[in-house]
Chain A
């Protein structure tokens, strides 16, 4: 059974097409990163998943249930960290958790949850006085109540300091290891790259890619830049290297060869340079970052 399945889901707001036919499946037990620039439709998709909003067309099942037909049954097994929420104004952090525990019919200990998100010392303060990051941690703790089968986290690192971001990442991994599926959205690539098993990239309401990080790299093509310093003039060697399998482009700059190639072909390219008579003084390689991929997907013609 898939944790999440969207079938040809569209969403219109008046004349604006926020989502233009999304087909997407999140498998049970994976960490799924939902990526896209601001305004691409990530939050809209999550709103539909949680039945905060209804799709204009298409069907959505979460944990095998139709969210429109059984929203409460779905929410009973899903932990939600929403975006643009506010804490209950009169309640302390601990009271929030007590409420969530009762609503989820769970038996968690509020103190354990507070400690897990790093709010141990602030549990008895009124949550309305929390900072953004603390509010975010509190909502994460609420999402963890009752060991949900699926965690839906909308921009989970909003307002978190680097410490908090790392803790969030650790919690996501721990939840996956427990067997939970984690679906989270982000416009910050590093976070997706660090924890996601698979990612989807959304652009203007359309899915432009669904793949593993490595798969995406391959899909975009040349993903490594090799910089090779030669003893002799590099321009003489360049034409011979261009024809090597796996090489996308060769340029000469600062007296060195710059070769865009597949990561697996790096060593073979070096061998070819030597075979062509080049003497290698030094070399370095850099992998294309997801950032570059992201830009390629969301702005380029991919």
Chain B
């Protein structure tokens, strides 16, 4: 159970090297700005105050994955290549403690930043005297926390697998591009193939599920449900999307750990 010690050390590191205040500050700034822009549109009558979460969607889709990946990408590989891991593993720690502790510690840093950011955004709205859709905001935080967990997990998995920071950087960048953009073409591509390389007449039922295998797209499905834009939001697709985020959260570090545990330091 020594992973707790490593997790605490990770959090302590983030406080001492001012990473936590810097990231939390960035989140607070971004969400506050989004909230201010939201208020201006409310004043002009373009949107209702209750649509706050619609505005939060964009930072959720971009800031959350990027932050989570950056937090995780170097987490293990950097300590491994600079020798800190050698010192750490001289103590009664398992390789599993290293992966789990780093994962939990960095996630705590991410979560604190996310909550600080959303709180700052909400505070701006409240200060302007508008109502906040509490339920929707909480659901948004939950979904974003899930998205951050999935991306952080992918970053940890990569960081545990590769041997140099350069590879880790390339890999997380590739993962981001793949999940955020490239994956959007996969469902249609597969449908095309399934239809015998012809333009399909109808969209197969599974295409949405294939799409939701990307954490980013799964997150969008979850936000759809939170915002309630598509009233016909498929409940099972929402559940599937939540499961996808949790699946990444478990599988990616597990794969990384297996590789990490079997190689020489």
Contacts and interface: CB of A to CB of B under 8 A. Distances in A.
Contact of B2 (A47, A80, A82, A103): A103
What size tier do the contact residues of chain A reach?
Answer: 20 to 34
Interface in A68-105: 71-73, 75-76, 80-91, 99-100, 102-105
A240 interface: no
Nearest to B96: A72
Interface string B78-109: 00001110111111111000000000000000
A269 interface: no
A72 B2 contact: yes
B92 A88 contact: no
A76 to B, nearest CB: 4
Contacts of A142: 87, 90-91
Interface in B238-265: 262, 264-265
Interface stretch (B11-19, B140-148, B224-232): B11-19
A88 B17 CA distance: 11
A52 B93 contact: no
A103 B93 contact: yes
Closest 10 A/B residue pairs (Cβ): A80-B90, A53-B264, A86-B83, A90-B16, A103-B91, A85-B86, A52-B265, A85-B87, A85-B83, A76-B92
B184 interface: no
B17 A82 contact: no
Interface residues of B, number: 22
Given A85-B87, A89-B84, A53 B92 contact: no
A6 B148 CA distance: 46
A18 to B, nearest CB: 11
B9 interface: yes
B34 interface: no
Contacts of B29: none
Given A80-B90, A86-B87, A103-B5, A47 B13 contact: no
A288 B12 CA distance: 55
Nearest to A78: B90
Contact of B265 (A53, A88, A99): A53
Contacts of A76: 92
Contact of A72 (B16, B86, B88, B94): B94
A131 to B, nearest CB: 16
20 contacts: A47-B264, A47-B265, A51-B89, A52-B86, A52-B264, A72-B93, A75-B91, A80-B91, A81-B90, A82-B83, A85-B83, A85-B90, A86-B87, A88-B87, A89-B84, A91-B9, A99-B5, A99-B9, A102-B5, A103-B92
A226 interface: no
A258 interface: no
Contacts of A103: 2, 5, 91-93
B92 A139 contact: no
A19 interface: no
Contacts of A72: 2, 92-94
Nearest to B90: A80
A54 interface: yes
A195 B265 CA distance: 30
A89 B90 contact: no
Given A90-B16, A102-B5, A84 B86 contact: yes
